[in-house]
Amino acid sequence: MINFLSAIFPHFGELKRGLCISVAILLTLCSSACSMTSTPEPLFTAPTESPARLALIESDSNLQAGRSSYDLLCAHCHGYGGEGQLEATIENTLSLGLLTVPAHDATGHTWQHPDQVLREAILQGIQNPLDHFPMPAFEGTLNEEEINQVLDYIRLWWTVEQREYQRNLTRHHAEIDAEFGINANE
Ligand code: HEC
């Protein structure tokens, strides 16, 4: 075939080389053009970032401070939208027989604990050898006010019912502490 073509077109050899070079140049141009125009998919999406929620945070310096601490210290484990461990890594954690990082949003169970327990978890961390990414202690990193700000920020992900349930739980816990003379700050 090539011999036949060479017979018809005496310069087929050169033509072929020229064609190869053009294709190579085209491919290089195309791939660099593609990498310039395509926008990479965001790694993290916060499903609860509604305009109303954002407006609420922007209007409240307490929530803004909570968001800063959360995004800086907690989000890489618990998810920027409180959704828990990054989905792409869950399979690996489970295949190792280890536990994933829980969600803080409405799908998680953070709202099922009173503030006193949540504060303790944040201060002392949770040392569970079965956790793939164990919860570190934040005592000395976050003060009491900053922990409350983070909790207020986390609460934004809960439903109205979950917030009310958790408020009652916290009140009940405080009543029991008072009854037994336990100081919540100790
Ligand atoms: C290195 C990963 C990691 C980081 C960073 C981290 N956590 Fe955790 N956190 C965990 C894991 C894992 C658990 C589950 C521990 C268990 O129950 O065994 C957890 C549990 C919790 C719990 C208890 C939730 C429940 O329902 O029992 C709270 C509250 C919490 N984290 C808040 C925070 C806050 C606030 C921050 C940032 C200041 C933070 N975490 C940073 C990994 C992390």
Q: What are the residues facing 35 on neighbouring strands?
A: none
Question: How many structural domains comprise the chain?
Answer: 2
SS3 content of the chain, % helix, strand, coil (to 5): 60, 5, 35
Is 166 touching ligand 1 by the criterion CB < 6 Å? no
45 domain-assigned? no
Is 151 touching ligand 1 by the criterion CB < 6 Å? no
pLDDT tens, 100-139? Answer: 999 999 999 999 999 999 999 999 999 999 999 999 999 9
* Residue in 69, 71, 77 to alter for ligand 1 test, most ligand atoms within 8 A of Cβ: 77
186 domain-assigned? no
The CATH number covering residue 168 comes to 1.10.760.10
Kindly state whether residues 120 and 171 are assigned to the same domain.
yes
Kindly state whether residues 88 and 125 are assigned to the same domain.
yes
pLDDT tens, 13-39? Answer: 555 555 445 545 544 444 444 445 566
Q: Which residues of 170-180 are buried (b: 16+ CB within 10 A; e: fewer)?
A: beebeeeeeee
Kindly state whether residues 68 and 137 are assigned to the same domain.
yes
Is 63 touching ligand 1 by the criterion CB < 6 Å? no
Residues 107, 157: Cα–Cα separation, whole Å? 9
pLDDT tens, 46-76? Answer: 556 778 888 899 999 999 999 999 999 999 9
Closest CA to 150 of 122, 111, 186: 122
Q: Is the pTM of this model over 0.75?
A: yes
Residues 122, 117: Cα–Cα separation, whole Å? 9
Tell me, in angstroms, the distance from the centre of ligand 1 to residue 137's CA. Answer: 9
44 domain-assigned? no
Kindly state whether residues 104 and 165 are assigned to the same domain.
yes
95 domain-assigned? yes
Kindly state whether residues 83 and 23 are assigned to the same domain.
no
Q: Which range of residues forms the domain containing residue 10?
A: 2-37
